[in-house]
Amino acid sequence: MSKNVRSTMMTLLVSFLALAAIVASVLVLSPLSGSVVISDSMDNSVPKWSIVFTKPVTLSQVASGDIILFTDAGVGQNVLHRVLEVDVTSQTIKTKGDANTLVDQYPVTPDRLNGAYVTHLPYVGYVVNLVQPYLYFLILLSLASFVTVLAIPSRKQRPEVNAVS
């Protein structure tokens, strides 16, 4: 393997592993949670296949117009919708997806409130959904590639032979 190819492979592998470590560290150490949006219900604001980041909140911190992540009472899946109304007396939140015509059937209660929208990365969730089932395999493959590149000895530069005329 030539020195340039080996050097390029090492740079790419180290860069990939460093980026993966930084992303993992931020997600583990940060109070933010990441979720993949799998429906079009918030398409005007948060497109399908975005990764959405949310922060923990209580019902008293939620206001009309906020976007929240909650567990749907009917389906049991996480849903990202906009807050229409917060009823402090009944401790419920009325929500609706921006692209939906109807208000959500079940009001959100504090025990099902998972967080408030912070930001999103459009369409990155598509890649995450494709990679997620193979995550451990990809990590092992990356580490094996890294070790292999380290183990392959580089060719020594041959001294140039000057031709005598």
Distance, in Å, from the CA atom of 109 to the CA atom of 68, rounded to the nearest integer, reads 12
Question: What does the pLDDT read at residue 11?
Answer: 84
Q: At 123, is the pLDDT very low, low, confident or very high (cuts 50, 70, 90)?
A: very high
- Averaged confidence pLDDT in the chain: 86
**Residue, of 21 and 91, whose pLDDT is higher:** 91
CATH node for 32-125: 2.10.109.10
Distance, in Å, from the CA atom of 117 to the CA atom of 48, rounded to the nearest integer, reads 15
Alpha helices, DSSP H, located in 77-134: 124-131
Q: At 127, is the pLDDT very low, low, confident or very high (cuts 50, 70, 90)?
A: confident
- 97: tokens are 């997806």
CA dihedral 67, 79, 132, 14 (to 10 degrees): 10
Q: Pick the closest to residue 51 from 134, 123, 105, 115 (CA basis).
A: 123
Q: At 160, is the pLDDT very low, low, confident or very high (cuts 50, 70, 90)?
A: low
- 148: tokens are 């292999």
Distance, in Å, from the CA atom of 161 to the CA atom of 31, rounded to the nearest integer, reads 63
Question: What does the pLDDT read at residue 72?
Answer: 94
Q: How much is the average pLDDT of 88-105? A: 97
The 10s digit of each residue's pLDDT in 16-70 is 778 777 777 776 788 889 899 999 999 989 999 999 999 999 999 999 999 999 9
Question: What does the pLDDT read at residue 163?
Answer: 62
- Position of tokens 């918030």? 42
List the domain boundaries for the chain.
32-125
Question: What does the pLDDT read at residue 14?
Answer: 80
User: What is the separation, in whole angstroms, between the first and last Cα of the chain?
Assistant: 33
Q: How much is the average pLDDT of 73-96? A: 96
Distance, in Å, from the CA atom of 36 to the CA atom of 103, rounded to the nearest integer, reads 22
Distance, in Å, from the CA atom of 149 to the CA atom of 143, rounded to the nearest integer, reads 10
